[in-house]
Structure 1
Amino acid sequence: MDEVLNSTLRTAVYGRLNYLDTIVGEADKESKSALADTVITQMTGAWRELLEAHEPDERGRCRACSPWRLLGRADCTVWRTAHRHLITDAAERPAATGKATGRHHFRPATPTSS
């Protein structure tokens, strides 16, 4: 059951992101403005919640990404991704290769026949 739920959640989230991309790329200015009034607040809230879950502990290790047994500091991919997308200018970002990996890399859900 968890696999079905996870697949459903991923499909819904990717569907919403695709919808927003379509609106941004194809909608008129009034629609984009109305979308910005609601979606920007939703997105900043989502980023804050995600980053809060990845706040470093007193040793500077991400509580979600660093297993307790690691003595060294493990980089948190969530914070690096946030910095890359929220701070770095688009022109400075590395080109997407489609080969993202790591603990927090999500792949689009593929429909399964049950």
Structure 2
Amino acid sequence: MDENLAATLKAAVHERLDYLDHLAVDGDEPSRAALAETEITRLTSAWRVLLDLHAPDEHGRCPHCSSWRRPRRHPCSVWTTAHQHLISADGPSAHRTGRHADAAGRSTVAVLGAS
């Protein structure tokens, strides 16, 4: 992927996430209801596709996070990030390291109806 295209793609995704965060936090009641009706299904579908891409292979390794030099056992950072954001009561940890640390440092978690 060309560097300019990658930067454009990254910026577009972050802008969309920021917009959704803004609607969830600062939107009026009808906006938050519309957000719930349209975006939750899109976001859960995206998580499912991402998690399917990072499903362990027959050797128990993530095919996308593994490299020939350093195979990654399942669960990879994508699965642990999903668990932190979707399951853990504590939410994401403050200290991030590793391959996806820069992307994971940006808040995209929004609670509908939060004030």
1:55 alignment partner in structure 2: 55
Say yes or no: does 1:41 pair with 2:37: no
Q: Which whole-Å deviations, capped at 9, do the CAs of 1:85-106 have from their partners, x for residues lacking one?
A: 11111xx235535xx3422344
Q: Work out whether residues 65 and 74 of structure 1, in 8 Å CA contact, stay in contact via their aligned partners in 2.
A: no
TM-score scaled by length of structure 1: 0.78
Alignment counterpart, residue 96 of structure 1, candidates 94, 97, 104: 94
Alpha-carbon offset, residue 67 of structure 1: 2.0
Which runs of 5 or more structure 1 residues have no equivalent in the other structure? 108-114
Letter in 1 for 2:85: H
TM-score by length of 2: 0.77
Question: Is the Cα contact below 8 Å between 1:54 and 1:79 reproduced in 2?
Answer: yes
Q: Distance in 2 between matches of 1:27 and 1:71?
A: 44
Deviations, residues 43-74 of structure 1 (Å, cap 9, x unaligned): 00100110011000112111111224546736
Whole-Å Cα distance in 1 between the matches of residues 72 and 9 of structure 2? 34
Alignment RMSD: 2.2
**Inter-partner Cα distance in structure 2 for 1:44 and 1:70:** 30
Q: 1:104 corresponds to which letter in structure 2?
A: H
Equivalent residues, number:
103
Larger Cα Rg: Structure 1 or Structure 2?
Answer: 1
**Equivalent-residue separation in structure 1 for 2:98 and 2:71 (angstroms):** 20
